[in-house]
Every structure is written in structure tokens, then in C-alpha cells.
A and B are shown apart, each in its own frame.
Chain A
Amino acid sequence: MNKKSKVVRYNKWGYIFLIPFTVIFLIFQLIPLVSTIYNSFFENYRSGLTQIGPNFVGLANYATIITNGDLPMYFKNTMIMWVLGFIPQIILSLLLGAWFTDPSLRLKGQTFFKTVIYLPNLIMASAFAMLFFTLFADSGPINSLLIQLGVFKEAFSFMDHAASVRGLVATMNCLMWFGNTTILLMAGMLGIDPSLFEAAQVDGATANQIFYKITLPLLRPILVFVMITSLIGGLQMFDVPQILTNGTGNPMRSSMTLIMYLNKHLYSKNFGLAGALSVFMFVITAILSLIVYKFTNVQEQK
């Protein structure tokens, strides 16, 4: 009896230690989230010098961003650039992960290679984008290198073509994230029971067969996790296209992402549309997160 009350006395410290997190979360995340949602139902913007609103308009802001075509277009842009970056990223990561974890290959210098491929992940995205912008400028070193090598006759304007701008954004995203993905996939591959590989080898399976018939199916939960977390990150794509195109998303707003659009409304203080856009992003992210959560939970129960 005495012992139990003592335990209870200690356990109140659980609540005490949770106070900083809870208070800061409530103030800086929950209240902003609620007021963002609240804002999305109001007409509230500046037209010249006159302030319009805030007036309650119901779901009109949601209707506006969908029907004027902005949201679908920027969503499409974001998804195109994410897919373009994600496909090479996952292929590279699977390949490198399989090589690093293959005991029969016994690759030397693994630490060096892992260090190098993870490096771009820590680089300031805005500085990296600025670097690409200067390197790929009309008079930049890439153009002069390609002309010196005889690939181009005259400078190619990378910034004036939708395909090359999107390609550059995708390249940067791929470079920045494939090292991280490789390391995550490697952890998954190392978690597979080695006796499965041994048994397959004894039965005469080739490296290819082992990869497709054993590694890949057993890796599926981690692949789904990697894909959805990358998708959540991709939806938040901002720094790279923002700096690369100076916030315009040019040419023809073809590389304007959802968050760049949100950023625009925040600068022009159109809180109604910014709110509706935020809620849209929140709902998509929440759904995607629930899928991740379900998947990792199923994993633990197994």
C-alpha cells in the first residue's frame, strides 16, 4: 500500500516533465492551426490600400482556389517534379543499398561512399539552388563547358524551358535525398533474415533472382514508408524552385509549387486564400501520415 502511493507520487513527475512540450505545442502549433482553419472561412485581403474583410464567406475560398485553376495546376507541377526526382532516387537507392549490404560483393570504401552520398542532404537547399542557378545560367560554367566540349553550338537557356527547370529541380531533390533513402533502405535490407539468402544461394538462385524474389518483397513495408514520407516532403517542396526561379515559378508558372503559392498569398496578406490552401495541404498530409502510421503499426505487431 505504502509502495503504491510512493509510485503514484513519483508518477506525477511524468506530467511535470511534459509541461514544456505541451505548453509550447499548444501556443505555437495548435493555436496557429486552429486560427489557420478559422481564417480559411473568411474573406480577408488587401486591394491596393483598402483592406477587404474579414467577412465570413463559408467555403468560397476553397471554391476560388479550385475553380480558378491555380490549385490543380500547382498541385500538378509539384507532383511532376516530385515524381521526376523520386523515380531515379528510389532506383539508385535500391541499387546502392543492395550493393552495400551484399556480403558476397565485399565492397571496400563503403564509409567513404556513404559519407559522400549523404553529404548533399545537409546542404542549405536555398544555397544549392542558387549554385545551380549560377552554374546553369546562360553565361555560366555548365554552358561554357558544354560548348567547349562541342555538345551545344550556343548557350542553352535552362531557365526558359519548363522541362529543363523542372528537370533541374528534380535533379537537386534527387541528389539531396537519395543518400538518406539509401541508408533507410539499407537498414531494412540488413534486417532481413540472412538464412533466407543462404538458402536461396544453396538452391542456386542468381543475384538478380535473390533481389527480385526475396529482398524486394520483404522490403515492401519500408518502401511504402519511404515513398509516403518522401511524398509528404515533396508536397512541401519550396526552397529549391523558389530560389531557382526567384519565386516566379517561370516559365509560365510551370514550376510553381503549392507552398510557393501559399508563400505568395502570405506575402500579399491574402489570408483567406492562404488559409484554404493550408487546410487543403493539412488534409492531404494527414491522410498520408495515417497511412504511414498504419503501416508502421502493422510492422510492430508482426
Chain B
Amino acid sequence: MANNTSNSQGGGVHARRIVSYIVLILISFLCLFWFYVLFINSTRSNSELSAGFTPFPSVHLIENWTNLKNGTLPIVSGMINSLLIAVLTATLATYFSTMTAYAIHAYDFKLKKFMFTFILMIMMIPTQVTVLGFLQLIDKMHLDNSAIPLIIPAIASPAVFFYMKQYMDSTLPLSLIEAARIDGSGEFRTFNQIVVPLMKPAIAVQAIFSFVGSWNNYFTPALVLHDDTKKTLPILIAQLRNADWLKFDMGQVYIMIAFSIFPVIIVYLILSRYIVGGVTLGGVKG
């Protein structure tokens, strides 16, 4: 395409560089535009919003937030539920996946190869495919309408396991474990006090991904949680969409969306170095 001009080396590179900057800036604009409008609109009142689009913020941010908080949607409890489920999911997923990866990495046993292949095979099974049986099962276990079935299954997270295993292959020497053994450390203690601290960078990356995955998850929680006080943010967003939204105060709609999106953006901007670097090793789409 634009690269056609690059036949002569010197000037060609210059032209290509300009083209790539222009395209990159356009694409960045396309990525950020929506969030900018979201931010602007959440600072405007309903009457200002119906007057049309402007690119400048207004002063009604706090007012919109108070209105939303005092409205019908249980937004604060929604955030607490989302936060609680996401933190526990991330904790369980990373700790137990590290443990599973350690079992395969550090020990030699008959089923080792089989288990590794098996976990890789089940990595791709979508949760949606088993959700019917899952719902019937938690119904029988009397765990329906509870956060527990959204948290506990994180213990078996094949994708997190795979990342941990790859990280161990490159950074965890078996001689270190051997040394701990000679010093008389038990296997479980070695895992907790030597392996887990060494895995901190990988655990951090996967904790972020698990947290975000759980925070954003809509499908399963919407089928499991029924009480208003137990619902998570994505379910409330769906409820907002389902409401007769034309009668809604649009300022509240925008602040609600902003409220679900901006915490993740802020955390992302702080930790982006680790996240972007961590994508490559994981290599599996959600």
C-alpha cells in the first residue's frame, strides 16, 4: 500500500515513517475517542446531553454520580460484589495454577506427560458449552444464587497454568528445589516459601488478567445470580439496557458505564508495562 514509495532507501524510509505515524495516530484516536466521549458525557447533565454533542466537559459529574447512587440500580453493592469475586478469583487462579504447574515442572511421575497434554487439550473448552450442566449441578448443590460457583472453579484454570508452566521452564531451576530439600525443607513449604516468591512476576501478570476477566464476565454470573444485592456490575449494565432507557437520565447512564470502565483503565495505565509484555506468553484468547 503506502510502502510502494520505498524503492529508494533514504527518502523512502522517511516517507514510510510519516505514513506510519499518521496511521498510528488515527488508530489511537479511534481507540480513545469512545472513552473520551464517555468521560465528557458523564460530566454533563441530562438537558445538556439532549442539546447535542460538544467536545468539552461540563460540571455535573458529582451530581450525576449522586443521582445514580440514590437511584434504583444497586450500583455500590454491585461494585463490591464484582470486586470481591474478581479478587478471590484472581487469588485462587494464580495460587493453584502455580501449584499445578509446579507439580508438572518439578516432579517425575507416571501420569506427568498425560496430565500436561490433557490440560492443554481442555484449555480450549469454552465455559458456555458446559454451562447447562454447571447450572444443574450448582442447583443440586444449593449453590444457586451464590458467588461461590463463580469463584471456586478458578482453581482449575488451564490458561493460567500454561503461562505458569512456561514461566517456570525459563526461570525456575530444579537445583534450587534440590538445595531446599537438602536443607530439610518439606515439599509444601518449599513451594510456598521458595517457589511462590520466585514466581511473583508471573503471578502478578496472571492476577491482573484473571481479575479483569472476572470483573468483565457477564455470561455465567447473569445465569447464576438472581438477587439484586448479589448482582455484579455487568448484570446491572444489562439491566440498564433492558430498562426503558429513553426515560432515563442520560447523565446517569453515562456515569454508570464510566464507573464500570474507568477503574480498569486506571489500573491498566499504572500496570501497562507488565500487561502488554505478558500477552505474548499467554497466547490464548478469551
Contacts and interface: CB of A to CB of B under 8 A. Distances in A.
A20 B156 CA distance: 8
Contact of B181 (A10, A22, A259): A10
B47 interface: no
A239 B3 contact: no
Given A24-B156, A32-B133, A281-B126, 11 more contacts: A7-B108, A14-B103, A39-B136, A119-B32, A125-B216, A134-B253, A145-B53, A180-B285, A238-B219, A271-B132, A293-B121
A139 B265 CA distance: 27
Given A14-B103, A17-B103, A107 B264 contact: no
B272 to A, nearest CB: 5
B208 to A, nearest CB: 9
Interface stretch (A45-53, A62-70, A72-80, A110-118): A110-118
Interface in B162-176: none
A207 B11 CA distance: 13
A230 interface: yes
Contacts of A33: 125, 129-130, 133
A29 interface: yes
Chain B CB within 10 Å — which of A18, A105, A126, A230 has the most? A126
A275 interface: yes
Contact of A211 (B3, B52, B153, B241): B3
B221 to A, nearest CB: 11
B24 A28 contact: no
Contact of A239 (B16, B112, B218, B254): B218
Given A24-B153, A96-B24, A127-B261, A229 B6 contact: no
Contact of B16 (A111, A117, A207, A278): A207
Given A274-B132, A293-B120, A126 B191 contact: no
Interface string B115-131: 10001111111101111
Interface of B: 1, 3-4, 6-7, 12-13, 16-17, 20-21, 23-24, 27-28, 30-32, 34, 37-38, 41, 49-50, 52-53, 96-97, 99-100, 102-104, 106-109, 111-112, 115, 119-126, 128-137, 149, 152-153, 155-156, 161, 181, 187-188, 191, 212, 215-216, 218-219, 223, 233-234, 237-238, 240-242, 245, 250, 253-254, 257, 260-261, 264-265, 268-269, 272-273, 275-276, 279-280, 283-286
A133 B241 contact: yes
Interface of A: 7, 10-18, 20-22, 24-25, 27-29, 31-36, 38-39, 92, 95-96, 99, 104-107, 111-120, 122-128, 130-135, 139, 141-142, 144-145, 148, 175, 177, 179-180, 183-184, 186-187, 206-208, 211, 225, 229-230, 232-233, 235-236, 238-239, 242-243, 246-247, 259, 262-263, 266-267, 271, 274-275, 278-279, 281-282, 285-286, 288-289, 292-293
Contacts of B153: 24, 28-29
B137 A184 contact: no
Nearest to B269: A115
Contacts of A96: 24, 27
A84 to B, nearest CB: 16
A10 B133 CA distance: 37
Contacts of A119: 31-32, 265, 268
Contacts of A184: 279-280, 283
28 contacts: A17-B100, A17-B102, A28-B156, A29-B156, A32-B130, A32-B134, A35-B133, A105-B13, A113-B28, A115-B269, A118-B276, A122-B212, A130-B240, A131-B257, A134-B245, A134-B254, A135-B37, A180-B279, A187-B280, A207-B16, A208-B3, A238-B218, A243-B238, A259-B128, A266-B132, A278-B130, A289-B124, A293-B121
